Structure 1
Amino acid sequence: MLSPTSNIVAPTINRVPEVAVDFWLIKLMAVTMGETAADYLAVNLGLGLTITSLIMTGILVVALVLQFVQKRYVPWAYWLAVVLISVVGTLVTDNLVDNFGVRLETTTIAFAIVLAATFAVWYASERTLSIHTIFTTRREIFYWLAILFTFSLGTAAGDLVAERFDMGYLTAGLLFGGVIALIAFAYYVLKLDAILAFWLAYILTRPLGASFGDLLSQPVEYGGLGFGTTSTSMIFLGCIIALVLYMTLKKQVDEADEILLETE
């Protein structure tokens, strides 16, 4: 990524991170925490789905404003938005299912259609869905809309497989993990399109994380390991903070190296 001191104008600075191992690690932890944190706030704290949704949506709006004003990738701002949008995406699906009685099959299909429509409008407008070219505010808006719908879709799909199809959290997690492995194989061996592979994997990490989050947090009688939402959320939050600090330091070192090369 170009440094802020580069001679290239600011709009060519990408506003989202490069896709690497640390990206997938923190993303998986963020989606797992999104599942358990939503349950913790709504159930354990007794706030209920409606109040929790209103509070978290308000906080998410503030986080997205902070993210948009950066005009470049800043680890703490970006990943704060990801964690919060993971929570809100989970709450959107939970509200539809628990408060409005919409079936999981319906929410899964509906969010799949909405996500596909978002990608279609994004591509029609920008002629690309690549996350390596999020240079403008319009592209970033499309990006975050897609992220929100991937989380809502992933929540619905994960609950559908684990609960409605009665496969259990562990089996569902292994199933989604296996599909992601097939996508990785198709990308590295069969040369599947990089953008398609990325978005497919991104969508499926949500139900993967949700399944293992529920496995860890839910009571034993419900098919979980009984660690509780509080402990599970705190563990993953600690890991996320540690990874964000690592990413921040790494980014600072990389930018310093770029500046040094430019001055030589």
Structure 2
Amino acid sequence: MRKAMSGALNHVKCRGSSYPGGPKRFAVPDDRVRWNDDFPEYKPIRYTAAPVAANPVWADPDISGDAKLNFNKIDGKIDRRSFSGIYEIVSGMPRNPVGRTGIVERGLLGKWGPNHAADPIVTRWKRDCSGAIVQNEGKGVLEFVSIQRKDTGEWAIPGGMVDAGEDVSLTLKREFSEEALSALDLPEDKKRAVESKLGELFHHGDKIYEGYVDDPRNTDNAWMETVAVNFHDETGETFGQFSLKAGDDAKDVCWKEISCELRLYASHLDFIQRVAKLRNAHF
């Protein structure tokens, strides 16, 4: 059974003045976000980015035609269910369960309704030159693997989209390998050793969030949802032999110290804060 969204979620980055690489959004004030808030003058901008409208294999068809999608269900290999529960279908299109965004249609997102992603949060303790865990205000300091996105320049968790029919556990491992590790550049024997170590680490993770994400790409009809899982290297030995190297979708990659001063993409800072709480670490 799917979990319902818990608590009040931020709905800020998906109401920025301009859509990423696209038009200005219709302005949505804080007190007009929810669909049951009276907003008769609301006239959102229609926008589907050209790469999405070109109908690539990873995108849905335009549902203004004859295409019929099975929303709120498993539709072939595509999971169209939402962690928020049953979402409304209005005039044949799914409605964002959190509220208005100032943009209708799909924007940069391939799927109508929920677009599922997975975010692997790989952590270790920050250590001094003697190997002792660095302390701040009586608590250990954590570091996590972060990538710098090419599209926005913001630092983020190295996550990505769940492929059709793919198990989320595979997505987590695949995205981390593709975006943060130089494993593909290694000789075959060393590559196998790295994959073995990575498999050990990714065999045990702690789910810290599943649900809606306040993503700047969200629209009234398409939105991001994710499963965020923490994979913690307690001794630091697993990642000692891994070389971090940015993949094709990233400008840079590094270990970043976890603190409240971080500025991260979308809802990623919230996920990082949850990890710090889970590990009783400084934040």
TM over 0.5: no
Q: Give the TM-score band, short-chain normalised.
A: under 0.3
Q: What is the TM-score with the length of structure 1 in the denominator?
A: 0.22
> Between Structure 1 and Structure 2, which shows a larger proportion of strand residues?
2
> Between Structure 1 and Structure 2, which shows a larger proportion of helix residues?
1
Q: What is the TM-score with the length of structure 2 in the denominator?
A: 0.21
The one of the two structures with greater contact order (alpha-carbon pairs below 8 A, sep at least 6) is 1
Bigger Cα Rg:
2
